[in-house]
């Protein structure tokens, strides 16, 4: 069983920033996060949560919503050693619970098209693909 709490301390910020690394972010556009950058991003419109099992921190999620809106977005990372153990499914329940507390009635997310485990998780919780984006690049 997992629980969550709002990230507040410098230790919380350090833990969150540590999750933004190649082992955890295989399918994410990863920008290195510093504890200071994580702390700076906290606002009434963006809340960071630490996911834990017992006394062990195992992951993070955040909830973001535009001011005065009932639509929100979230991001989630389960630390690599804890992936594949059902914690993502449990975290989805916590995300829904916390979203309701702050007035979110509709959740949006972005997921990499090749991240089949995440897609299956989200589909299992009732998410449906709504748009298709094409990312393009060119070296110059």
What proportions of the chain, in percent to the nearest 5, are helix, strand and coil?
Answer: 30, 25, 45
Architecture of the CATH domain 3-124: 3-Layer(aba) Sandwich (3.40)
CA distance 23 to 56: 19
Give the pLDDT of the chain (140 residues) as one tens digit per residue.
Answer: 899 999 999 999 999 999 988 777 776 666 678 899 899 888 888 999 999 999 999 999 999 998 778 999 999 999 999 999 999 999 999 999 999 999 999 999 988 888 899 999 999 999 998 876 677 788 89
Residue 133: the pLDDT is 67
Q: Hunting for tokens 């833990």 — which residue is that? A: 15
87-101 helix and 116-124 helix, angle to the nearest 10 degrees: 50
The phi and psi torsions of 42 (rounded to 5 degrees) equal -70, 135
Helix H or strand E encompassing 92: helix 87-101
* DSSP SS3 for 84: coil
């Amino acid at each position: 069983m997992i629980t969550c709490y709002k990230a507040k301390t410098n230790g919380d910020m350090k833990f969150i920033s540590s999750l933004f690394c190649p082992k955890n972010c295989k399918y994410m556009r990863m920008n290195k996060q510093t504890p200071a950058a994580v702390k700076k991003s906290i606002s009434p419109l963006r809340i960071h949560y630490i996911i834990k099992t017992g006394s062990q921190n195992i992951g993070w999620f955040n909830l973001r919503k535009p001011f005065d809106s009932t639509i929100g977005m979230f991001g989630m990372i389960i630390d690599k050693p804890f992936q594949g153990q059902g914690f993502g499914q449990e975290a989805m329940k916590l995300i829904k619970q916390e979203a309701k507390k702050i007035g979110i009635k509709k959740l949006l997310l972005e997921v990499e098209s090749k991240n089949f485990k995440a897609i299956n998780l989200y589909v299992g919780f009732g998410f449906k693909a709504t748009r298709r984006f094409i990312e393009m690049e060119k070296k110059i």
